Each structure stands twice: as C-alpha cells, then as structure tokens.
Amino acid sequence: MANEYTVNLFIPCCMDLYFPAGVPSVKGLLEKLGDVCYYNSEMTCCGRQFFYRGDINAAKELGYRMIRYFDNPYPVVCPSSACIAYIKKHYMSLCEHSSVHASISHLINNSFELCDYIVNVKGKEKLNNKFPHSVFYFESCATRNLYPSNNAAQTLLENTEGLTLLTDSDLKICCGGNGGFAMHNAEMTEYALSIIVERVKKLGAEFITSTDVHCLQYIEAYLQTRSDVKSNVIPISEILISNN
C-alpha cells in the first residue's frame, strides 16, 4: 500500500540490459531507508539516447509515456544522473502539451538521482555500510555539467566503512558513452577510455564506480581489452548496500 514514503523506482534501460544484477541493490537500498518502492513493469526508456541521436519523435513518444507512468504524487528515484538530468533539462520543451503541463512540472521537480535523493531528500550522509576496498569514483559528464551540482555520491562513499576513496579533480573527460558519440567516433572514445583507465591503474583502484551505469558499461568494455589492469566496475548502489 502506498504511503508517504513511497517512491517511484525508475531503472534506466542501460542498467536493466547491462547490469541487471545491480537492480536489487537499488531497491534494497531504498527499502533499507524505509521507502516502499513502486515499479511500473511497463516502463521502458526515458528517451535520452533517441533525443541525443536526433530522433525527436521517438524521444517525445517515450517522454509522454514516462509522464503517464509516473502520474502520481510520489518522487521518482533513479540510479542515473544522465537520465534524470535529461528529464529535468528537456522534458518541458519536448513534451509541452498543455494538458500534461502540470504532470511534467511535477516529474521534473520530483525526480532525483539515487545518491542525491539519499543525502539531500532523506538527509542520510552515512548508511553504516562496509566496503573495505579502494574505489575510484568516476564523475560522469552528466553529473558534472547537467545534474544539479552536489557531492552526494562522494559523501556517501567517504562515509563507507573501510572504503578508500580515490578521485581526480583534473580528470574532466567524457567516456564517450553518452548518445551516439562512441558509435561515430570509435577512435576518440577509445582514447578517452584509455586516459581514464590509465589514471585508475596509476592510483591502484580495485573498483571503479559512478552514478551513471552507461559510463561503467563503456569502461568495463575497455577494461576487457587491458590484461594489465585488474580493476572492476561496480554500480554505486552495490557499494552503498554492502556490509562485507
């Protein structure tokens, strides 16, 4: 039964397809915080990839579908800065039909990336989780440039027992995973990924995490070509719910 702690759980298609094992950790994390997760099984995609590839009609159709899926008073929580940033930045102009204007405004104002929701909505900076490993936090370009600026992810990682947080404020580079860039610029994407992975290797990180799963997907694919790098990627939700 829905209550004041109900949230709409939005799992981005990139996680559903490439990191399905991470989905239970997102749901489990929210339930650990006392939330009831509502998941619409008919949900598909927010349309971000279609929009950035220029297929506006497909993006608009998916946008209106998302608005219908989340036509309720509860916040939307998603483990993707890129998807939520896209909704906040483009849905108002993309889906401007007057009959759903109020619903769009509600969706834009009440959609949150997972870590931002935990820290800035739920007010939790420490989750009593344990992860005794060195972790490199890759700040995606969506997190850096599009999503409302905050350090929620770093705060939660810093407050994880046993975790050694590794960052690089000078590594302001895109992995190439946003939109169709990698598809049309394979060599540039590989070069960008090599810079990221070389930095991870130099720091000696055991794991790489991010608030954007599609970034982890691209980094993991590149890691498979590098036998000299032993780091593994991990969705941040798995770290935040871990007690090992």
Of the three residues 67, 88, 121, the one that is the final residue of a domain is 121
Q: 56 and 158 share a domain?
A: no
Residue ending a domain, among 98, 121, 144, is 121
Q: Which domain holds residue 213?
A: 134-240
Instruction: Note whether residue 32 is domain-resident.
Output: yes
Are 13 and 103 in the same domain? Answer: yes
| pLDDT mean across residues, the chain | 87
What is the pLDDT confidence band of residue 203, given thresholds at 50, 70 and 90? very high
Radius of gyration of the chain (CA): 18
Per-residue DSSP letter, 149: P
Alpha carbon distance 138, 177 (integer Å): 13
Position 183 confidence tier, pLDDT thresholds 50, 70, 90: low
Q: Is 126 inside a domain boundary? A: no
Please give the residue that has the higher pLDDT: either 158 or 101. 158
On whether both 102 and 72 belong to a single domain, the answer is yes
What is the pLDDT at residue 233? 93
Residue 232 sits in a domain of what CATH number? 3.40.50
Q: Are residues 117 and 12 both part of a single domain?
A: yes
1 belongs to a structural domain: no
Provide the strand spans (E) within the chain.
6-9, 36-38, 76-78, 111-113, 134-137, 164-166, 207-209, 232-233
Q: Are 136 and 166 within 8 A, CB to CB?
A: yes
Q: How many domains does the chain have?
A: 2
**Is residue 128 in a domain?**
no
pLDDT for res 181: 66
Instruction: Please tell me the number of Cα atoms within 13 Å of 96 on its side-chain side.
Output: 5
- What is the model's pTM? 0.91
The verdict on 100 and 64 lying in the same domain is yes
Read off the pLDDT of residues 227-236 as tens digits, 9 standing for 90 and up: 888 899 999 9
